[in-house]
Chain A
Amino acid sequence: EPEVTQTPSHQVTQMGQEVILRCVPISNHLYFYWYRQILGQKVEFLVSFYNNEISEKSEIFDDQFSVERPDGSNFTLKIRSTKLEDSAMYFCASSDSGEGASTDTQYFGPGTRLTVL
């Protein structure tokens, strides 16, 4: 069964450093997403991406964040200058929307645990 994959599973970085989290969405999916979950808190939407551009972003997704689809399979989230409060689990998701994004099931990858020291 196709699945979303993410690398690395755990990333440790120093405050102020740049990190890139990588995702391979399900191959025929058209919409890609990033969410984060701070320990003990709810899953929060960061950004959605369709047709090589951002379709929606949350207040969390400020200028320190960027997303890119550098090739036909990868989808990346970059945090330019990490802060302590960026420590969280980051989930990539994808959906196949043929009919409309607002009914699609989003399938989640296993996540990358980011620890900022």
Chain B
Amino acid sequence: QKEVEQNSGPLSVPEGAIASLNCTYSDRVSQSFFWYRQYSGKSPELIMSIYSNGDKEDGRFTAQLNKASQYVSLLIRDSQPSDSATYLCAVYSNSGYALNFGKGTSLLVTP
């Protein structure tokens, strides 16, 4: 079973600060990585995908990938209370059909 590991949190940051969320994965051949946001009782909502080593920026979000360390992270700049949610890291299985999810990190942004 290929694993995707995340700290469960909660991670608490003040409004306006940078939130840093981390994820490690066990399958060295993984090529595609996704960050989803999930509000309580709702479905996963895509934030970003990343496929190459380095940084990828989209608005206040930056995804970082290091395949050698099997590590992917998500930075949220200027955090807002509306960013309070659980952030899910997901990695495709070897077959390329199933997304393997981590348990998610709970983020709380305090006003």
Contacts and interface: CB of A to CB of B under 8 A. Distances in A.
Contacts of B87: none
Contacts of A111: 42-43
Contact of B43 (A50, A100, A108): A108
Interface residues of B, number: 25
Task: Please tell me the size bucket of the interface on A.
Answer: 20 to 34
A51 interface: no
B25 interface: no
B30 to A, nearest CB: 9
A108 B88 CA distance: 13
Given A56-B93, A102-B31, A42 B104 contact: yes
B84 to A, nearest CB: 18
A103 B103 contact: no
B82 interface: no
Interface stretch (B54-62, B68-76, B94-102): B94-102
A105 interface: yes
A102 B103 contact: no
Given A109-B43, A110-B42, A111-B43, A41 B97 contact: no
Interface string A86-114: 00000100000000111101111111000
Contacts of A50: 97
Interface of B: 31-32, 34, 36, 42-46, 49, 51, 88, 90, 92-93, 95-104
20 contacts: A42-B101, A42-B103, A44-B101, A45-B99, A48-B97, A50-B97, A55-B95, A101-B96, A102-B32, A102-B92, A102-B96, A102-B97, A103-B31, A103-B51, A108-B36, A108-B43, A108-B45, A109-B43, A111-B42, A111-B43
